[in-house]
């Protein structure tokens, strides 16, 4: 069996292929999510999003990870994706990154699915601007000012983080369906 070195096809193309694969696995669950899936709490100790007095959704949060770690709801995980992806896009475009509290969850069902799909569209547009030589620049996020981590690392981190969060949402969706 012969293999092609990752650089032969282009690193951006390889990272894009991995992202597309990850997204297709996520899309499987996005297409099947019901509005009731989002705020379903699978355990007594959960992190979710809650209505503020002003009517916006506010995620549960702690600056230090609690022990035991709460089980997140689909709502919380989908907000979390929107948060880290929005901030990553800000950094990748050279914009001032938004604060965590600036990222507002849109609500159960289609509003959140549409939001996540729009983040995908923004990310693809960002990827389309990159060349293989761009990948060697220092990553602006999530490792600020660390020359050991490049934009290639940042793109790979996005793929890994999205894969993890997609698996969490998929598992929660299937557990609720089976309960």
**pLDDT, tens digit, for every residue of 49-62?**
999 999 999 999 99
In a domain, 112, yes or no: yes
**pLDDT tens digit string along 109-159?**
999 999 999 999 999 999 999 988 999 998 888 877 778 899 999 999 999
CATH number at residue 95: 1.20.120.450
In a domain, 9, yes or no: no
- Calpha distance 127→129 (Å, rounded): 5
**pLDDT tens digit string along 160-177?**
999 999 999 999 999 999
In a domain, 135, yes or no: yes
Over residues 12-29, mean pLDDT:
96
In a domain, 157, yes or no: yes
pLDDT of residue 141: 85
Tell me: pLDDT of 5 over 80.
no
In a domain, 129, yes or no: yes
Residue span of the structural domain in which 77 resides: 15-54+69-178
In a domain, 174, yes or no: yes
Q: What is the SS3 assignment for 105?
A: strand
Averaged pLDDT score across all residues of the chain: 93
Over residues 61-71, mean pLDDT:
95
pLDDT of residue 9: 59
pLDDT of residue 174: 97
- Calpha distance 175→171 (Å, rounded): 6
pLDDT band at 2 (very low <50, low <70, confident <90, very high): very low
Tell me: pLDDT of 4 over 70.
no
In a domain, 88, yes or no: yes
Q: What is the SS3 assignment for 108?
A: coil
DSSP 8-state code for residue 96: P
- Calpha distance 138→91 (Å, rounded): 12
pLDDT of residue 148: 87
Helix ranges (H only) for the chain are: 6-9, 11-30, 35-38, 74-93, 110-128, 151-178
Q: What percent of the chain has pLDDT over 70?
A: 95
pLDDT of residue 147: 80
| Spatial CA neighbour of 158 closest among 137, 139, 179 | 139
In a domain, 43, yes or no: yes
* Number of compact structural domains in the chain: 1
**pTM reported for the whole predicted model:** 0.92
């Amino acid at each position: 069996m012969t293999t092609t070195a990752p650089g032969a096809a282009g690193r951006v193309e390889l990272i894009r292929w991995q992202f597309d694969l990850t997204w297709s696995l996520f899309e499987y669950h996005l297409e099947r999510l019901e509005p009731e899936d989002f705020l379903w709490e699978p355990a007594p100790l959960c992190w979710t999003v809650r209505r503020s007095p002003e009517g916006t959704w506010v995620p549960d949060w702690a600056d230090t990870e609690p022990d035991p770690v709460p089980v997140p709801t689909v709502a919380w995980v989908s907000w979390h994706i929107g948060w880290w992806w929005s901030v990553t896009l800000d950094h990748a475009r050279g914009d001032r990154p938004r604060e965590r509290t600036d990222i507002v969850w849109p609500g159960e069902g289609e509003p959140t699915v549409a939001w996540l799909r729009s983040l995908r569209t923004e990310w693809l547009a960002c990827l389309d601007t990159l060349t293989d030589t761009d990948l060697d620049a220092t990553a602006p996020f999530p490792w600020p000012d660390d020359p050991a981590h490049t934009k290639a690392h940042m793109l790979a981190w996005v793929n890994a983080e999205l894969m993890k969060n997609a698996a969490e949402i998929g598992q929660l969706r299937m557990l609720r369906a089976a309960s």
